[in-house]
Amino acid sequence: MILVIHGPNLNLLGEREPQIYGTLTLSKIDEMIDTKAERLKLQVKHFQSNHEGDIIDFIHENRHDAKGILINPAALTHYSYALRDAISAVALPCVEVHLSDIQEREPFRKRSVLKEICLDQISGEGVNSYLKGLELLAGHLGDAD
Ligand code: DQA
């Protein structure tokens, strides 16, 4: 099972700055992830929270059942050492994804404190960032088996 995690403010997708994040709602994005996961024969468990600690608790609670993490950490990307430590602590392969291209925006967004501990960072491809991230995890898990 793969944990699919969406960080702060992603619950507002669809109405939140559509010129940057697009018009798809989070439930539509989750639906598209489910379709892709089925094709890849992966089970997924979705979670969105605006609270850093709740995301960390979710990772801890699911650490024994999960095989990997697909996460859009949203703004936590840029400063959350606590989230970074949680991902390192559970030692699950993780892919960091972003809808927008974080390299082409404000300077504070260029830095990810998570990138180093993730298999990869996929950014700027809208919902495809998630779908590619899931493919990458599937390939990684396939190789590991
Ligand atoms: C984001 C990019 C982050 O910088 C921002 O804080 C978000 C969304 C993205 O998906 O493009 O909330 O992770």
pLDDT tens by residue, 103-143? 999 999 999 999 999 999 999 999 999 999 999 999 999 98
Catalytic residue among 46, 60, 98, 130: 98
Q: What does pLDDT average to over the chain?
A: 97
Phi, psi for 33 (deg, rounded to 5): -65, -40
Distance linking the first and last C-alpha atoms of the chain: 14
Q: Spell out which residues line ligand 1, taking CB within 6 angstroms.
A: 9, 72, 74-75, 77, 98-100, 102, 109
Residue 4: the pLDDT is: 99
DSSP for residue 14:
T
Active site residue 79: no
Q: What is the pLDDT of residues 12-48, one digit of tens each?
A: 999 999 999 999 999 999 999 999 999 999 999 999 9
Using DSSP bridges, classify how beta strands 94-98 and 44-48 pair: parallel, antiparallel or unpaired: unpaired
Distance CA(99)–CA(142), nearest Å, equals: 26
Q: What is the pLDDT of residues 69-95, one digit of tens each?
A: 999 999 999 999 999 999 999 999 999
Distance CA(29)–CA(26), nearest Å, equals: 5
| Token pair for 129 | 């960032």
Q: Which of these, 27, 2, 1, lies nearest to 12 by C-alpha position?
A: 27
Domains and CATH numbers, the chain: 2-144 (3.40.50.9100)
Calculate how far, in angstroms, residue 108's C-alpha sits from the geometric centre of ligand 1: 11
